[in-house]
Structure 1
Amino acid sequence: MGIKRSLVLLFSSYGCFLFSQEKTIDTVYVFDNQMNKVKLFHKVTTITSEDAEKNSSNLSELLRFQSQVFIKENGRGAVSSPSFRGTLAGHTAFVWNGININSTFLGQGDINNLPLFGADQIEVKAGGGSVIYGSSAIGGSIHLNNDLNFNKGFNASLFSEVASFNTYNNFAKASYSNDKLSFKVSGNYSISENDYKVDDLKYINRNGNYYNTSLNIGISYKIAKNQKISWQSQFYDSSQHFPIYEESETKTKYETQSTRSLIVWDINTNKLSNSLKAAYTEENFQYFNNVNAPKSSGGTGKNYIFRNDFNYFILPKLNVNVIGEFQVNKGEGYQSGIGNISRNVGSIAGLLRYYATKNVRFEGGIKKDFVEDIDSPVLYSFSGKWNATNWYNISFNVSKNFKYPSFNDTYYEPGGNKDLKPETSTQVDMTNEFKAGNFKLTLTPYYMDIADLIVWLPTAMGYWQAFNVNKAESYGLESQLSYSKKVGIHHIKANIGYYYAKSTNKETGNQQPYIPLHRGMMNVSYEYRFLTFFAQGILNGLTYTTSDEKKSEAIDSYFVLNTGISAAVLKKYTLGFKVNNITDTYYKTVSFYPLPKRNYSVYATINF
């Protein structure tokens, strides 16, 4: 296969460059036009909407059992944050259709306030990516992508689930498309009393109820042979009550509403493409220190984003990519000392990709960010991949990434610090992939050095303040063994992963809190005619919760196993039954807040 045909296959479904077969560009439109290029050099885990039905409680559960990300969750459905490769919560970028959506106030994302069923697919990428995806893409990035099909007519589906703890999850989706127009709308509503008991700790998850709802609308229209205008929007509303230990305690809650809207103008020809994006995102949140009283604090953040992504093949083997972006970030706090604030953020990035042969390719990138009142570093990335044989390939990546201070870090009163520097990291990783028959083994050792960590420390004045103090390093191994075999009416798939993360504070040499040294993950599914059986498990090693590695305060190791069975009836209906934590294991990811023991759910899916 020649280089031209290889590039056609790699880029065609994502609306990038085509040397031939130009009609394939119209099959699927994906809003994140960079993701397919990322996959040329980096391992990306893709979680489909069908996979999501196995872990439909929330996004935290899905990522915990189907990715390499460690999830720290303050009880089921409560505040939740990710950790890639031993990094902190603020070192993960959440990317919605190519747009970074981390909170401007916190500089990170709350996983359980992102709708699980709001994306057509979820993709997980470990390793730095600030050159393309901006601030916080240090440890990795989680991508919530939407797509639109053409020439598919009318399709619709309905998912409904009833689960333990008076939990109800409902999701509906409908789409219509012809050769010029594609339209899709979807929505979900989830609610739970969430009052589970854990007898090992004599714990009841009092005041743990939650609900969330979202609406997603997408449309794309071909205005000319090589041009289309597209729009994607998401509207989200949720309420989380925070658990208490005794009924006599004051009940608290947190509410949030968010809006995301994106308009894209795409031009695609044989040698060049250009994607112009204009986006508006808004986050509103309110904290109630008494559920029966008015809000005690809150805030509103609004972001106006303009992004242009230009690609051009100078030669058949040489591609240049220029990405320019400008943002206006606005915020206003309530009872936080944050008044009406505004910050301008701009960046220019250039990437050069060289496809030496069909088996060898390289990418180099450089980026400069311009963040108002903050001195930002020059970022870079360099990647290469070599398909050495039909059973072995190797890729390597070196990059410098960063995270600039959030609104809270800078402006919160008291404690904000306007003299903070961005956190920066330098990292390297190398992925080795081996294939033998139906087996595939992937081994990725990595090293990361992080400087100018932003931490909040107590002061002599009696309050906490943000400082650049710590330095940290993280090194380890990500490994995964997969197997897939189909014989007649039998189909078995299996994925087993092991992850080692040594993440230390350079000043003390101790392991960072809430970073387990050893973790494992397993997913197995077996299909026979209309029946599908699956099992999934996670193994988590000892996890320190304090910076001095105090074992008496550490979270003990645990193993959790889920299983389920589903049946497809008349090709349109699917009925399923799941048992979560079938081992009835007592476990937690955060001190004092255990997660549920054995629990059950039944669900049905209808495709129209």
Structure 2
Amino acid sequence: MMKHSLMLAACSLSLASVAFAEEPVTSLEPVVVTATRTPQADSLASVTVIDRAEIERRQARSVPDLLQGLAGITVSRSGGAGQGASVFLRGTNSDHVLVLVDGVKIGSSTAGQTPFENLPIDQIDRIEIVRGPRSSLYGSEAIGGVIQIFTRRGGGALTPRVSVSAGSRGAADVAASLGGGGEQAWWSAGANLTSTDGINACDGRASPFAGCGVEQPDRDGYRNTSLSLRGGYAFSDAAKLDVYLLRSENRTEFDGSEYAGNLSRAEQQVLGTTAVLQPLEPWTLRLTAGRSWDKYRAYFEDPDTGADETFVDSFDTERDTFSLQNDLTIGTAHLVTLGLDYQEDRVGGSVDYSEDSRDNLGVFGQYQGYLGATDLELSLRHDDNQQFDGHTTGSAAIGYRIGPDTRVSLSYGTAFKAPTFNDLYYPSYGSPDLDPEQSESLELGLTGILPLGASASGSWDVRLYETRIDDLIAYDAAASAVANVQEARIRGLEVSSTVRYADWSTQANLTLLDPENRSEGPSQGNLLPRRPQQSFRLDIDRQLARWAAGASLYVAGRSFDDLANDDRLDGYALVDLRAEYALTQALKIQARVENLLDEDDETAYLYNRPGRSFYLTLSYQPASAN
């Protein structure tokens, strides 16, 4: 990853063409596009790339499972499969991470979060995780970082893929996809059905209210039906077009009440297109347009009598986005990016918001310089929002190579998060005078290649950072509404390493975190909720002819579920095992044991997590399948 032989001309390649590339996570030099919105093989930011081969090697059953334990990431889950999952990136709030699917922003404009638990992992080709502030390129929400998901692309010869899984608690999964297109075209179509009887999500107590303050000792099942379509054509090296659709429909049972329901039906959909033009050799023009939907319906079904479902509530989000980006290569050492983003959000449902739409126009610029042993990145952005007027963010990063295999970097960035519609307009709760939450971050990084000789390879990455967040939005009892009343200071250390020797592969991630509440009052100095101060993940795998086997260890220290730090969440350790056998070159069988030691882990107060679980998968996938 430390080689400096990447020509700057590669940075002017289209986002689409790089996003479609088969770039395995086992490579020391994965090309990423999310960190700077341009192709990079040597990012100054802290980046993790997970490709399709890694997803299948880990036998991950959901996106939260895949993210758990990566450096800087904490996942809190309110029950088993399909239950709410919150992703905390570098100790920031769960709504401080920007989530994109093929370049289109997703998530709820009312709740302010992305339902990671409902994203269909069978339709994902690649995930890029960028840590640290990125508002200077993407605007609101990118305080902790950005997670971008790329769907399957297809291309080449006609290639099918089919998999069937079954496991504990009635878990079943059927997935199929077909891709092709030849040399200039690409297309892929896929679908999957996932279901499980689930577990009793809540270990609560008798109460008329919603959440885990209720007592419903029943299994909470989950069903997900998803569809992915993608197609494109390269008219020439200078003109490409890509169109994509991802849709997910979900039915989730949970422990609730007649006031908030105990059954939800949700839909998430992304529809977008990207056109890439190269009018001149040093100039690449990229246009992206998309629409995302997030719909949620809550019902109540009497758990004792099984009475018919009663409608309780609904929340709808429709978001239109448009992006125009110009990448200008100057000589062989400079890349300038100029662009604008437009976004319009519309909300609806059973709640009567005083305002149900708003738009945002963001204008940004970026400079990347490759000056001998020094790399330089500068970016600046201004967002003009219909609700809170203007907000400017910026970032600067510099990297210096100490010899051929080591680099030190220093970066500073500001970021912000716009208030949600619930924050602003929810009846008897919101406040239309809220300001955006804002942050500043400083990071010191050291990365390198391990000198292991010709028969082995390895890399390592160390990051030390501090983030200060002001004007955090929280409920103000004195005003009987939300207000900008909280502050936080987050200090962290992330260490990650990958080593490959012969048939062995190991990956290790360590995170040490000090997420301190700096708000005035009785909670000052306490830890921010649901963020353990220590976490560690170790993956060990071995490939032997037709056999492959691996194990994962994830350890998390204690944390708290509330600002007062009264509700303690004990530390825990999880061990997973996996194995696979190739019956033929295209047909293989996989087996996985989750939570081998039957650990009673709790990542949200009073919410249960599955015990020991077993899964078996049979899949057919020719070597060239995407």
Output the TM-score relative to the length of structure 1. Answer: 0.90
Assess if the C-alpha contact under 8 Å between 2:129 and 2:146 holds in 1.
Answer: yes
Q: Name the CA distance, whole Å, in 2 between partners of 1:50 and 1:385.
A: 30
The answer on whether the counterparts of 1:423 and 1:450 sit within 8 Å (CA) in structure 2 is: yes
Q: Residues 210-289 of structure 1: matches in 2 within 5 Å?
A: 210-243=222-255, 252-268=262-278, 269-289=280-300
Secondary structure, counterpart of 1:131 in structure 2: helix
Aligned-partner Cα distance in 1 for 2:15–2:360: 28
Q: Determine the C-alpha separation between the residues in 2 that align with 1:83 and 1:272.
A: 37
Task: Identify the residue that residue 469 of structure 2 maps to in structure 1.
Answer: 450
1:577 aligns with 2:588: no
CA deviation map 1:101-124 (0-9, x unaligned): 131112221221222223211122
The answer as to whether partners of 2:497 and 2:508 remain within 8 angstroms in 1 is yes
Q: Is the 8 A contact 2:436 2:471 kept in 1?
A: yes
Give me the whole-angstrom Cα distance separating, in 2, the residues matched to 1:56 and 1:410. 37
Equivalence for 1:103: 108
User: In the alignment, which residue of structure 1 is the partner of 2:211?
Assistant: none
Per the TM alignment, residue 213 of structure 1 is displaced from its structure 2 partner at its CA by: 1.3
2:337 is aligned with 1:321: yes
Change (3 A) 1:16 1:231: closer
CA offset at residue 99 of structure 1? 2.2
- Structure 1 residues 119 and 207: CA distance shift in structure 2, 3 A: same
- Mapping 1:6-405, distance limit 5 Å: 6-8=7-9, 14=15, 34=37, 36-37=39-40, 40-53=43-56, 54-66=58-70, 68-77=72-81, 78-146=83-151, 148=153, 150=155, 152-195=156-199, 206-243=218-255, 252-268=262-278, 269-290=280-301, 292-334=308-350, 336-338=351-353, 341-357=356-372, 359-405=373-419
- CA change 1:286–1:81 in 2 (3 A) is same
SS in 2 for 1:60: helix
Q: Which position in structure 2 is the counterpart of 1:502?
A: 514
Cα 1:493–1:263 shift into 2, 3 Å:
same
For the residue of structure 2 that corresponds to 1:61, the secondary structure is helix
1:205 to 1:75, Cα distance in 2 relative to 1, 3 A = farther
Summarize the Cα distance change of 1:228–1:481 in structure 2 as closer, same or farther, 3 Å threshold: closer
Distance 1:379 1:55 in 2: 39
5+ residue gaps, structure 2: 24-30, 206-214, 303-307
**Partner secondary structure for residue 165 of structure 1:** helix
Q: Return the alpha-carbon distance in structure 2 between the equivalents of residues 209 and 475 of structure 1.
A: 38
1:53-108 deviation per Cα after TM superposition (whole angstroms, max 9, x unaligned)? 33433222221145541011001121111111211111111111122213111222
Could you report, residue by residue, the CA deviation over 1:511-530 in whole angstroms, capped at 9, with x for unpaired residues? 11211111111111111111
Q: 1:526 and 2:542 equivalent?
A: yes
Give 1:353's aligned amino acid: Q
* 1:228-273, Cα deviation, whole Å (9 max, x unpaired): 111011111101111379xx99971121112211111101353111
CA separation in 2, counterparts of 1:135 and 1:587?
33
Aligned to 1:512: 528
Partner of 2:305: none
Offset from partner CA, 1:336-376 (integer Å, 9 cap, x none): 2326611011100000111112x421110000001102034
Q: Partners of 1:366 and 1:502 in 2: how far apart? A: 29
1:524/1:224 CA distance change after superposition, 3 Å: same
Aligned-pair RMSD on alpha carbons?
Answer: 2.9
> Partner amino acid for 1:48?
D
> What are the Cα deviations for residues 28-54 of structure 1, in whole angstroms up to 9, with x where unaligned?
999979263495222311122233233
Report how far residue 149 of structure 1 moved: 5.2
- 1:433-512 matched pairs, under 5 angstroms: 433-434=447-448, 435-437=450-452, 438-458=457-477, 465-486=481-502, 491-506=503-518, 507=520, 508-512=524-528
Q: Which amino acid aligns with 2:406?
A: Y
Task: Give the CA deviation at 1:379.
Answer: 0.3
- Tell whether the 8 Å contact from 2:71 to 2:494 is kept in structure 1 after alignment: no
Taking the aligned partners of 2:314 and 2:500, their CA distance within structure 1 comes to: 49
Q: Secondary structure at the match of 2:344?
A: strand
- Partner-residue secondary structure (3-state), 1:262: strand
- The answer to whether the Cα contact below 8 Å between 2:8 and 2:329 also exists between their aligned partners in 1 is no
Counterparts of 2:356 and 2:562, CA distance in 1: 35
| Equivalent residues of 1:404, 1:421 under 8 A apart | yes
Alpha-carbon distance change, 38 to 512 in structure 1, aligned in 2, over 3 angstroms: farther
| Deviation digits for residues 206-247 of structure 1 (CA, Å, limit 9, x no counterpart) | 2410111111111111234410111011111101111379xx
Change (3 A) 1:31 1:39: closer
Contact 2:14 2:286 in 1 (8 A): no
Deviates more, 1:526-535 or 1:48-57: 48-57
TM-score (norm 2): 0.87
How far is 1:602 from its partner?
Answer: 0.5
State which drifts further: 312-321 or 448-457.
312-321
| Conservation of the 8 A alpha-carbon contact between 1:306 and 1:327 | yes
Q: Find the aligned partners of 1:318 and 1:10 in 2 and give their Cα distance.
A: 10
Task: Look up the equivalent residue of 1:349 and give its one-letter code.
Answer: F
1:52 alignment partner, SS class = helix
- The 1:239/1:38 distance shift into structure 2, 3 A limit, reads farther
Q: Deviations along 1:118-170, whole A, 9 cap, x unmatched?
A: 321112221111122221111122211135354x2111111221010000122
Which amino acid is 2:224 matched to? Answer: N
**Per-residue deviation, residues 308-333 of structure 1 (Å, max 9, x unmatched):** 11101133222110120112211113
What is the letter of the counterpart of residue 172 of structure 1? A
**Partner of 1:153: helix, strand, or coil?**
coil
